[in-house]
Amino acid sequence: MTDPILQTLSAREMELGAFSADKSAEETQRWRHWRLSRDHKDVAWLLFDMADSNTNVLSGDVLEELNEALDDLEEKPPRGLAIRSRKSAGFCMGADISQFSKLTSEEEVKEQLGRAHDVVDRLESLPFRTVAVLHGTTLGGGLELALCCDYRLAVPGTKVGFPEIQLGLHPGLGGTVRLTELADPIEAMTMMLTGKMTPDKKARKLGIVDALVEERHVAAAVEAAIKGDIDQSNSGLRGKVLTTSPARQLEARQMRSKSAKKAPPEHYPAPDALIDLWEKHGGDRDEMKKAELESFARLLMTDTARNLIRVFFLRDKMKRLTKTKADPVKHVHVVGAGEMGGDIAGWCAYQGLTVSLFDMEPDKVAEAVGKLSALCKKKHRSEAETRDILDRLTPDLANDGVERADLVIEAVPEKVDIKQKVYEEAEPRLRKGAILATNTSSIPLETLREKLKDPTRLVGLHFFNPVASMPLVEVVSHDKLKRDVLDRAKAFTGQIDRLPAPLTTAPGFLVNRALTPYLMEAMVMLDEGVPAEAIDEVAENFGMPMGPVELADQVGLDICLSVGDMLRDRLDTDMPAAPDWLREKVDDGNLGKKTGEGLYEWKNGKPEKKDKFDSAPEDALDRLLLPMLNACMACLREEVIDDEELADAAMIFGTGFAPFRGGPMNYARNRGFDDVRQQLESLQKQYGKRFAPDPGWSEEGRSRAEEETGAKDQGRKKEGSASE
């Protein structure tokens, strides 16, 4: 079926005579990514349609072809030029990051980026009016291309943005100059510093687009723009005042202060580099463009940018895992309306699925509905949108949704007997082809499936708290799981805009297995008298979003204790037992943030920390970090997860592991596996067997693991796979 956008474009092209059998029609076929034609009013239409791709991105060959199209336009100037996309996804998703990641020196970056600057500068200086017609998503280099046009028209639903800061970069194709000239410079800088997308109406208000135009009126609006009948946006008097040197210096100080709180400059240099550009060169377009190019080249060669680009591709790799041929899930039924179950149900409804929610306590179901309403408000959904979302979440006090759902998710407390009782009641009522999933955070599926008559439909879907913020879902399989059930579970995570980490069942799976020794070592340090604030400071200085003590309070001390006890029981590990005082806290109901007191006291959702405290020991970082890395290596060696990339992605998106370091295994590789092993051995001598290095750190251990893996694979091939 043809996309509506493509249908609309084709109809318009025929109406305008854009592809009639004349010379211009032949010219449209000269390029792979662009189509150039003229209508009967002598307006040129340049359509961006990147070959072999569902989306448009700016690559080297795309820009070369654009340059050739500009040759044609300069040789025979039209009355005006309209540029738009033939892709339903939007105008352009930005630069081809894979090409940037292959560059190896600042000089190479400047050379290639300089050629790109020459092309877009030519577009900007064309002697006739130019109009960019935007729809869908316009990001990064795509927005920079649009900013080179005299006018920008946006179809309702358009979103624009500069996400480069999330890759450790800033705009590099003149965007820092053109956006701060066009829009209020403070708003423009905020947009670039946050990397957030701006919806159509706000983009119009900021002056980034000159008019919002319904699709059916695009041709008329383009004609009006070419005639000069649409007012061009500008930043006005306020923009001129804020561009003066004293104003830039004052605003830059405030920007640095705000930025440093979220992105420490020692770890994330791009925000400071962007602020420096505007502070030093704002108002001088030639100097700022030159400085922008040099700054971009420097940033691209930093470890931060390289690692954040790696994270970008890790996210993309996980998204591709959701692209299966499985039927989509339409109705989700959640059993258990506690903190996790209620939030899972709410998130599924928010993402457009029909959801029913059962709990034996009606108040919990009502609380889940209230939290969904609050989420809609936080996400700025309209009253009508909120009403539709809430209508999709049905309280189900009779548990009837079990019989109608495509997917039943069990989210009851982490006790085997309670979960198995849910399965005992639900399994006979499941519809044919329905999936039974568990949100267990640590219990092996071999244990949970013991009383099921048909264990082939049981899969793990482990969400992370808070569900609406944490993008990861551990999709846990076992040796009796059907392949089509696993595929449908992975596809479901894509339906609800989450990222799947496919795992084989094991105690604690991956994230909790790696996170627990990190948290428990913090408890040991507390027991030794190291201040909580000092422990957290060490981790935060490394780049963690919060320290392990604060994180334990966030997760809940009862959950930390339960998972720690389970891993000690089920794994051959010497992880220390929790201190007695921690068990007393849990027994007394002081569980952390959710009760207002734990390892810290919590006020207004934040922990109260001392300003002055003794420093942590010199080896504190390795004591915290290396057990986490050791657990990741064990999971890789045991094939709990397929490869280092997925392990890194799971830890970044499931725990917030310092993204600029590229993940725990990437950090370990850069540090050196031998160094990690030797330091673990040193810590083992000083503190005990809990630091014993996994065999996978040594070349011999890795070779042995690979041989065992090969033997297992051969065995599987001989036996075949009954589950498929």
Residue 596 main-chain phi, psi, to 5 deg: 90, -10
- The b/e string for 485-498 (b: 16+ C-beta within 10 A; e otherwise) is bbbbbbbbbbbbeb
Bridge partners, 607 (sequence order): 602
Bridge partners, 161 (sequence order): 139
CA distances from 172 to 13, 202, 281, 444, 675 (A): 33, 23, 15, 48, 38
CA distances from 224 to 144, 153, 220, 643 (A): 23, 11, 6, 55
Whether the link from the prior residue into 471 is cis, omega within 30° of 0, is no
Gap between the terminal Cα atoms of the chain: 31
Neighbouring CB atoms inside 10 A of 264's CB total 15
Give the list of residues 6+ apart from residue 58 with CB closer than 8 angstroms, or none.
Answer: 92, 94, 95, 96, 116, 141, 142, 145, 173
Bridge partners, 34 (sequence order): 48
Q: What whole-number distance in Å separates Cα of residue 106 and Cα of residue 294? A: 8
Q: Which of 117, 333, 462, 478 is catalytic?
A: 462
- 720-724, long-range: CB within 8 Å, 24+ apart, which pairs? 721/483, 723/456, 723/479, 723/480, 723/481, 723/482, 723/483, 724/482, 724/483
Going by their DSSP bridges, the two strands 606-607 and 602-603 should be labelled as antiparallel
Neighbouring CB atoms inside 10 A of 648's CB total 27
The two tokens of residue 145 are 């291309």
Bridge partners, 437 (sequence order): 409, 459
Residue 161 main-chain phi, psi, to 5 deg: 180, 160
Among 643, 99, 660, which residue's Cα sits nearest to residue 318?
643
Show the DSSP H helices in 31-81 as ranges.
Answer: 60-75
Bridge partners, 592 (sequence order): 597
The two tokens of residue 411 are 């989210």
**Is 117 assigned a catalytic role?**
no
Task: Please identify every residue annotated as catalytic.
Answer: 462
